[in-house]
Structure 1
Amino acid sequence: MLDSISFAQKQRLAYIDFCLLFKGAIYRQDLINRFQVGLSAGSRDFSIYKELAPDNLSYDSREKRYFQTPQFKPVFEHDARRTLTKLANDISDGFDAIGDIHFPVEAPSSLNVPDIFIVARLVQAILNNKAVSVIYTSLSSGSNARELVPHSIVDNGLRWHVRAFDRKSQSFRDFVLTRISKVTIKDTPNEDESAQADTEWQRLIPLQLVPHPKNVEHPTAIEMDYGMENKQLLIEVRAAMAGYLLRRWNVDCTERGTLKGAEYQLWLQNRFTLNNVQNLAIAPGYEAKGNGSGGGN
């Protein structure tokens, strides 16, 4: 049946499929607003989707919304890596499932590709403000059931993780998506478990990055690479993300810029801003007594 459907209609059906998978529900008006189609055309799209997958959605006349059913199986194949990148950039379309335009641009191969259904369940929980029960395998304790309250999915440069309140440790932590093997959506969390209570997430810290004083022979090249102004790059980053960014960019975080190697092209000039920031064990060259870790998973 899909072979006889136009490309434009496939896009709309993929959008319905995407919303059901990642949001758990969709209003008819969502489709109409997204594609600027009439009410009759929108209704026809839902009818066709219902023909393609009769067990995928149910209509709630009271809420006037279509909901994902427990039997849901996506009609289209949603690529996990592309979908995560789109979600990170606030693009919710599902178009990659029907073949995006191919541009001659390549990205590095990813060794860490999460299960799309695990991602979908976590996104649903975040969007609907729900806690989840998961099976999580950590380096320290192996596989165990945990209750989490997720609020953000993050690309840390090497792998994807979910930032969540961990009810076991009563703290906000980072959990690697590929180590989660099962997700069950649970209750509505308390306010002290929400993103607003995650102080490391809410706190922004300024980073003052400059060309490395010892490893870079021609600093102008680095200034051009990073769009520096006045020979420095000033950025604000969430405290919870600082360690990941500093590692991803190989920023020398030693007090006097003493790390050697061509990979260290940047130096953190205002190192003092990292005081009391957690999860800095991965920041190159950073050492501080009593500095704990917000991850450890």
Structure 2
Amino acid sequence: MTDFSFAQRQRLAYIDFKLYFTGMVTRSEIVSHFELGLAAATRDLKFYKEQAPNNMAYDNVEKKYFITTKFKPVFKHDARRTLIKLANNISDGFDAIGETSFPIETPSPLNVPEIDIIAKLSQAIINQKPISVIYTSLTSGSGSRELVPHSIVDNGLRWHLRAYDRKSKSFRDFVLTRITKVTILAQTPKPEEDKLEDHQWMRIVPLQIIPHPKNVEHPTAIKLDFGMESGVLEVNVRAAMAGYLLRRWNVDCSESGTLSGPEYQLFLRNTQTLYGAENLAIAPGYEMK
């Protein structure tokens, strides 16, 4: 790829990214994304094909280039940065080219999923296809499962997959790093496996978070930290995600703010809103009823 200009490498990386993580790319997408003419986009696809002749095949009916089973990424895609890009709907290929370095440090991730696993999960979700995976759980060890995925989620500590599990016949969370093999199935999901039937995902829970009434001596500092208006931070979160968010920010979810310690600077004022939400065993101080 050294023979190409920076702008050309951007476009080729974009094609590589789209194939790898969505399973397809079209000439019109290249034209729209880079504000090119059709002739220029056609040349880019030709150049990419010359570099990786086995990576894509053109479908005359759908007018799209589809990923092949022999696909091997031309560019290097960093797993952690790719997940962030996918979460923010960015597919510009800059992972492969390098960006301006900013003086900002973030905590080192303790677990990073395999990039090939991320790619296949992304393809399955975008194309609404079930998958067969090898998954290792803490309770049952390794085994094969059939899932119908609809979202990849950052819960603050690690990435997981939200999917319908055909084994338990329910929607559940699956840790990405515990998935060691993914096969996309040529099936159409059943109506009960659709994301709209994931009631915990579709239900929005309103949270009212305030400075902890007992553990914080100067609540104004907390109000500034979180941009609270009238002393309250109002957050709408999916019921399936509420427990993760409350644990991540150490929000005291006990009814009367009984948790003590400097880590509990926030208090959930409307604990009743959590009724019926899942994953609340990890919400600090919440009493299951």
| TM-score category (smaller protein) | over 0.9
**Which residue does 1:110 correspond to in 2?**
109
Unaligned runs of 5+ in 1: 290-297
- Measure, in 1, the Cα distance between the counterparts of 2:32 and 2:211: 47
1:206-217 equivalences under 5 Å are 206-217=206-217
- Displacement over 6 Å in runs of 4+: none
**Which residue does 1:136 correspond to in 2?**
135
**Which residue does 1:274 correspond to in 2?**
274
**Per-residue deviation, residues 221-250 of structure 1 (Å, max 9, x unmatched):** 000010000101111110000000000111
**Per-residue deviation, residues 102-146 of structure 1 (Å, max 9, x unmatched):** 111111100110011101101111100110000000000000000
Contact 2:11/2:93 (CA < 8 Å) preserved in 1? Answer: no
Q: Deviation at 1:158?
A: 0.3
1:75-224 equivalences under 5 Å are 75-186=74-185, 187-224=187-224
Name the aligned partner's letter for residue 197 of structure 2: A
- Measure, in 2, the Cα distance between the counterparts of 1:251 and 1:180: 30
- Measure, in 2, the Cα distance between the counterparts of 1:287 and 1:239: 16
CA RMSD of aligned residues (A): 0.7
Task: State the TM-score, normalized to the length of structure 2.
Answer: 0.98
Task: State the TM-score, normalized to the length of structure 1.
Answer: 0.96
**Per-residue deviation, residues 164-198 of structure 1 (Å, max 9, x unmatched):** 00000000000000000011111110121011000
Name the aligned partner's letter for residue 141 of structure 2: G
**Which residue does 1:43 correspond to in 2?**
42
- Measure, in 1, the Cα distance between the counterparts of 2:214 and 2:89: 39
Name the aligned partner's letter for residue 145 of structure 1: S
Name whichever of 147-156 and 83-92 sits farther off: 83-92
SS in 1 for 2:280: coil
Contact 1:247/1:283 (CA < 8 Å) preserved in 2? Answer: yes
SS in 1 for 2:205: strand
**Which residue does 2:66 correspond to in 1?**
67
Q: Deviation at 1:88?
A: 0.9
**Which residue does 1:233 correspond to in 2?**
233
**Which residue does 1:250 correspond to in 2?**
250
Q: Deviation at 1:5?
A: 0.8
**Which residue does 1:285 correspond to in 2?**
285
- Measure, in 2, the Cα distance between the counterparts of 1:248 and 1:56: 41
**Which residue does 1:293 correspond to in 2?**
none
SS in 2 for 1:281: helix
Unaligned runs of 5+ in 2: none
- Measure, in 2, the Cα distance between the counterparts of 1:188 and 1:119: 21
SS in 1 for 2:49: helix
Name whichever of 91-100 and 4-13 sits farther off: 91-100
Contact 1:83/1:94 (CA < 8 Å) preserved in 2? Answer: no
SS in 2 for 1:20: helix
Does residue 259 in structure 1 map to residue 270 in structure 2?
A: no
- Measure, in 2, the Cα distance between the counterparts of 1:276 and 1:46: 51
Q: Deviation at 1:99?
A: 0.5
